[in-house]
Amino acid sequence: MTDTTFPTVRLNPKGDARAIRHGFPWVYANEVVMDRRTKGIKAGTIALLEDADRRPLGMVAVNPQSKIICRMLDRDEDAVIDQAWFAAKITRALAHRDRMFDQPFYRLVHAEADGLPGVVIDRFGDTAVVQPNAAYADVNIEALVAALIEVTGVSTVVMNGTGRARTLEGLDERTDVMVGTAPTSAIPVQMNGTTYMADVIGGQKTGLFFDQRPNHAFAASLSKGARVLDVFSHVGGFGLAALAAGAGSVLAVDGSQPALDLAEQGAAAMGVSDKFAVRKGDAFDTLTKLAEEGEVFDVVICDPPAFAPSKKTAEAGLRAYERVARLAAPLVADGGYLGLCSCSHAADLTKFRNASSRGIGRAGRRGQIIYTGFAGPDHPLMPHLAETGYLKSVFFRL
């Protein structure tokens, strides 16, 4: 080390140094020597990580308040974590997105998979929304934002400091406009031939879910001339994509009126308001009522929130996914399609698919799986970290 001012964190004999050397990005609190000095390190501090034999493993961000006490930042023990370092990471991430997308609407940084642990950046043209979900990113937010502007040229940067991940890090919740002026209206986003309206200040997460892009496109391919039901629709993700592909009609169901208002704005921008209807209400209750009303659709898609965000909630979450399938299946016409999605990393593909199949069976229907989808390529999967592969989308023909 050329700079000896960094504190040192050392793995105990239980710590898996080999996993770190092979690319695993996290060190858990029970894997390090938790002496008084380590416990006293301020959350977000950059430190040198050593194995149990005091051999350097690289530079890490430390947070003694989190179960993930260290996040690997750089295997180079001489790395300096500054604006230039952030800019190099963002430049590499941007090169990947520029190759794939001809318009600047995408997830620019997908946390660990893009080499910026705990950092999510979604881009909406000249506006970027940053989620600093790790303490070091919170501490270094000015350098991160400056690097983001330097590399991308965006004029507005919003910091969305909300959500479960920040709570686990011991961070407070807040939303700030770091640079530029807060948008006074929703931002139109072009994707899959569709116009979505993103509320980057008051909307869910960063305002739009870019991860479903390829699954929206597949659902759209089934939808020409079809009657489509989009449940847990948010701002109309699947439904508006279906209309862009020539769906005959779409009914969007969500519990959030603001989200449905944005969906209607998107339909208006596309000139398809006459084919688009919304229904506010609890999804489970609405599915039940639609069945009682004798409604039938050619394509039904259900994209609920994470019912199983942790291992503790996995079983209850899988029962909820089974219930969604059971209530949705009767609404699908014979020979029609049912798309079911999960963004719960604690419910892996096999468990989610099995729960969905049970629900379909309990509804007295049979189905064949015709498509299995995941997050788009702007949400890369880190092979060492299953959590980065959270999204699953399974389509059945009933």
What CATH number is associated with residue 132? 3.30.750.80
Domain extent, residue 46, equals 8-74
Residue 330 DSSP code: G
Domain boundary among 179, 214, 232: 179
Q: Can you say how many angstroms the Cα of residue 247 is from the centroid of all Cα atoms in its chain?
A: 27
Tokens representing 350?
Answer: 């096999």
Give the Cα separation of 199 and 196 in Å (integer). 10
Based on the domain organization, do 377 and 280 belong to the same domain? yes
| 306 is a domain residue | yes
| 185 is a domain residue | no
| 3 is a domain residue | no
* Residue that the structure tokens 């406009």 belong to: 177
Based on the domain organization, do 154 and 265 belong to the same domain? no
343 carries an active-site annotation: yes
Domains: count for the chain = 3
Which pTM does this prediction carry?
A: 0.94
Single out the catalytic residue among 70, 302, 341, 343: 343
Q: For residue range 17-47, list pLDDT tens digits in order.
A: 999 999 999 999 999 999 999 999 999 999 9
Domain boundary among 119, 153, 179: 179
DSSP line for 2-37: --TTS-EEEB-TTS-HHHHHTT--EEEGGGB---HH
Domain boundary among 160, 179, 198: 179
What CATH number is associated with residue 282? 3.40.50.150
Based on the domain organization, do 220 and 324 belong to the same domain? yes
**Helix, strand or coil, per DSSP, at residue 232:** coil
Q: For residue range 52-83, list pLDDT tens digits in order.
A: 999 999 999 999 999 999 999 999 999 999 99
| 315 is a domain residue | yes
Q: For residue range 175-196, list pLDDT tens digits in order.
A: 999 999 999 999 999 999 999 9
Based on the domain organization, do 295 and 385 belong to the same domain? yes
Residue 347 DSSP code: S
